[in-house]
Amino acid sequence: MIEAGFFNCNVGDRVICLYCNLICQKWTLHTDDPCQIHKTLSPKCPYVISMLENQPISSVHIINEQVMIDTPIVTTNNNTCL
């Protein structure tokens, strides 16, 4: 399942792709091919496209590498956190 880009949802045999949010379940043992099912049901998924091109895919897309914690966060009980 991991090779097909799926992660276990801890609900029966349900799995999800974190790239395209495809959820699959009710797998048939020794019959269903997770890679083929992923390609068929979500051909535009970045993971599937990467699989087809045999290129590694980045698991995390970093938009802004700088952490901005300039202002304190105040909770409802008046405790201040940074």
pLDDT tens for each residue of 30-79:
999 999 999 999 999 999 998 877 755 555 555 555 555 555 555 555 44
pLDDT (0 to 100) of residue 81:
40
pLDDT (0 to 100) of residue 52:
74
pLDDT (0 to 100) of residue 10:
93
Each domain of the chain, given as residue ranges in start order, spans 2-53
CA 54 to chain centre: 18
Question: pLDDT-based confidence at 80, cuts 50/70/90?
Answer: very low
The count of other CB atoms within 10 Å of the CB of residue 14 is 14
pLDDT beyond 90 at 2: no
pLDDT (0 to 100) of residue 23:
95
Q: What is the CATH number of domain 2-53?
A: 1.10.1170.10
